[in-house]
Amino acid sequence: MYAIETYFIPPTNSRGARIKARVMEGRTSTGAPARSLTLPWNYALGMSKNHVAACEALATRLGWSGEWIEGGGADGASVWINSHHPGAVAVVAPEAEQ
């Protein structure tokens, strides 16, 4: 089963806010590209859509496709589970936060 965790990294004195996506479990279909990525925080997107963007970017980099279902993780992180449906990455996120 594929799972991706996304979480917020607060700004420091030398770096702005970021969002990190990392593989929690599973294998790539193309070998061993980086199992995580960090994106700059996009303030225009808001909290939920930044998590969606990070999940989608890592899934695309790893060559994973299907529908990704978001759930809550530890310390405010989001955990994305691949439902194993074939097709393009279609990230499904809660609509509550704007």
More confident residue, 64 or 25: 64
Is the pLDDT reported for residue 2 higher than 50? yes
Indicate the range of 3-7, 49-53, 60-64 predicted with least confidence: 60-64
- Any idea of the CA torsion for 32, 38, 42, 45, to the nearest 10 degrees? 50
The stretch 52-75 carries a mean pLDDT of: 87
Q: What is the pTM of this model?
A: 0.75
| Separation of alpha carbons 69 and 30, rounded Å | 23
Q: For the CA atoms of the chain, what is the radius of gyration?
A: 13
- Quick check: 67 and 42 in contact, CB under 8 A? no
Within 10 angstroms of residue 97's Cβ, the number of other Cβ atoms is: 10
